[in-house]
Structure 1
Amino acid sequence: MINICSHYSYRSPNLQVLSIKSCPHVTDETMSKIASGCPLLKELDISFCYQISHKCLALIGQQCPNLRILRRHLMTRFNPSQQEPFLPREYLDTCPQDGDSEAVAIGKFMPQLVQLEIRFSKLTNKGLALISEGCINLEHLDLFGCMNVTSRDISNASSNLKQLKTLKKPHHCTLMLESNTERYGLWQLYDERFQTDFFRI
């Protein structure tokens, strides 16, 4: 695995795992050069990189057709004191993240994903639906902190994901999906009782 912050090599044709986590100076332009030079990339972590936009996500998907794992975690804005030591508030405010636009890029250009982690994304039920329609091979989906989607949204979307094994929901609940639909129904009933629209942003 290469961390691009310490190794600025734009062309690594055999590279399969890349982490640029928490690199505030990595932009769309930088990432587009990396993607075009790493066609065999299978795993990518671009968490907390706020200058990478949905346009670049689409380009990554096109240039890296073998991508299987994407991590795109973001900082929570519910408690600013937790994020300020890592990223200046001014930086976050000037780089707004469009969750649904990113979801469109992921669903359309990353169909081979088996693991997707998008913690604290601002995507809505529309974006989640597009991901579930485009990434039907997903086995692991992490939606922790994605408070714009409800249990009903997640249930509707996951009906397309026949391979799904692990689902981390926005409200701290991890649901292990099993073939036993009766047991899953009990989990779903419990979840619907305790999650309401109060949790929507």
Structure 2
Amino acid sequence: MGDLSKNEGTSIMHLPDDCLAVIFHGLDSRMDRNSFGLTCRRWLHVQDFNRRSLQFELLRRFQHLESLSLSNCTDLHDSGLTRLLIYGSYLQKLNMDCCSNVTDYGLSLVASGCPSLMSISLHRCLGITDKGLETLASACLSMKYVNLSNCSQISDKGLKALTHWCRQLQAINISNCEGISGVGFEGCSKTLAYVEAESCKLKPEGVLGIVSGGGIQYLDVSCLSLSLLKDPLFGIGFASCLKILDMRLCRTVSDTSVVAIAKGCPLLEEWNLALCHEVRLPGWRAVGSYCQNLKTLHVNRCRNLCDDGLQALREGCKNLSILYLNGCGRLTSVAIELFKFHRTSVCIKEIEILCIKPYWEFS
């Protein structure tokens, strides 16, 4: 009876970690694997420790694997990437988000082992510098999609290498990269159609560099961190292929830029000007006069959108179908009702959209 009562006190929690790892590896359902770590902290540790080895086990078993995610493998070091030298030749897409212990040497292993790589996400890879990016760019010439958001050690030098070597580059995310001014984009390929640069310190010549290839269709420069006397976004006025432009929270952008953009971007379909307080009547008149393909416009909380400005939008923008409008203190209820009466086909929405959904998700 004593032995029996002793056995009754035994549970799965008494199993050593290696046995729990065997159980984890034996789970076929992705949902079960994701839920494994919800049991307790110990099981979460086993899940985190074995997720990386499971990824590489799959890579060994399926040697023609084209996509691999190592996202959030915070314990992954450079040495863990050596298997890519053997098994990475067919790999086309690699996600290394938040792999904070990977350095330039690890990225050189990726470059050597994955010559067919077309997409890589390095979000918050704090150990990666320009040197590693240069190595990657010179080896992976078919690269099309690159996410460098929150990579604090990347500058225009690394960006220049990327745009120089990767002439098929289509999309790049440099959000929150404070070391990038944008000049590294100068001379980029016409294939570059998507640039996400939220909360960057772009210079005027950097914006000109982004549009220098002539193929930009989507551009996010929201929350632009600039304190320059010169109008920072004047160069966008030369982006004749631009369809979606996010300038939310660009507080320094004045009528000069808005007029240039309205005139120089005839294909513009969506424009986010929320919280652009320096846009005044000349800017709104330019939007109404020249943006005839515009379908969606965000003017939330624009302090200097007045009744005359809304009238200019009402009388212009013939293809407008959605107007995000709220918190504009200078607008009267009469002007808003007149807009609704004359433009019944336009849906006015008060819910503020924080960002425009991009063409391509880096995740």
Matched, 1:2 2:204: no
Matched, 1:110 2:312: no
Q: Is the 8 A contact 2:201 2:224 kept in 1?
A: no
Q: Is the 8 A contact 1:2 1:17 kept in 2?
A: yes
In structure 2, runs of 5+ residues without a counterpart are: 1-193, 352-363
Q: Which residue of 1 aligns with 2:332?
A: 150
Q: Which residue of 2 aligns with 1:195?
A: none
- Comparing 152-161 with 135-144, greater Cα deviation is found at 152-161
Partner letter of residue 55 of structure 1?
T
2:212 equivalent among 6, 11, 17: 11
Q: Distance in 1 between matches of 2:195 and 2:211?
A: 11
Partner letter of residue 133 of structure 1?
E
CA pair 109-11 structure 1, distance change in 2 beyond 3 A: same
Q: Is the 8 A contact 2:232 2:253 kept in 1?
A: no
Q: Which residue of 2 aligns with 1:128?
A: 310
Q: Distance in 1 between matches of 2:279 and 2:237?
A: 21
Q: Distance in 2 between matches of 1:59 and 1:160?
A: 28
Q: Is the 8 A contact 1:107 1:134 kept in 2?
A: yes
- Comparing 123-132 with 9-18, greater Cα deviation is found at 9-18
Q: Is the 8 A contact 1:24 1:51 kept in 2?
A: no
- The Cα offsets for residues 42-68 of structure 1, whole Å up to 9 and x where unpaired, read as 110111112211121111111110001
Give the alignment of 1:1-201 within 5 angstroms: 1-4=194-197, 5=200, 8=206, 9-25=210-226, 29-36=231-238, 38-74=239-275, 97-122=278-303, 123-164=305-346, 166-169=347-350
Number of paired residues?
149
Taking only the aligned residue pairs, the percentage that are identical comes to 24
CA pair 105-130 structure 1, distance change in 2 beyond 3 A: same
CA pair 136-161 structure 1, distance change in 2 beyond 3 A: farther
CA pair 46-74 structure 1, distance change in 2 beyond 3 A: same
- The Cα offsets for residues 66-89 of structure 1, whole Å up to 9 and x where unpaired, read as 0010101117xxxxxxxxxxxxxx
- The Cα offsets for residues 128-173 of structure 1, whole Å up to 9 and x where unpaired, read as 0111101122110011111222332112123332431x2124xx7x
TM-score, with structure 2 as normaliser: 0.37
Q: Distance in 1 between matches of 2:279 and 2:325?
A: 15
Offset at 1:112? 1.8
Q: Distance in 2 between matches of 1:101 and 1:146?
A: 17
Partner letter of residue 196 of structure 2?
N
Runs of 4+ with deviation above 6 angstroms: none
Partner letter of residue 33 of structure 1?
G
Offset at 1:26? 7.9
Q: Distance in 1 between matches of 2:322 and 2:245?
A: 15
Structure of larger gyration radius:
2
Q: Distance in 2 between matches of 1:167 and 1:134?
A: 16
CA pair 12-125 structure 1, distance change in 2 beyond 3 A: same
Partner letter of residue 57 of structure 1?
V
Q: Distance in 2 between matches of 1:26 and 1:135?
A: 31
Q: Distance in 1 between matches of 2:336 and 2:214?
A: 37
CA pair 131-117 structure 1, distance change in 2 beyond 3 A: same
Root-mean-square deviation (CA, aligned residues, Å) is 2.5
In structure 1, runs of 5+ residues without a counterpart are: 76-95, 173-201
- The Cα offsets for residues 147-200 of structure 1, whole Å up to 9 and x where unpaired, read as 222332112123332431x2124xx7xxxxxxxxxxxxxxxxxxxxxxxxxxxx
SS of residue matched to 1:44: strand
SS of residue matched to 1:112: coil
SS of residue matched to 1:56: helix
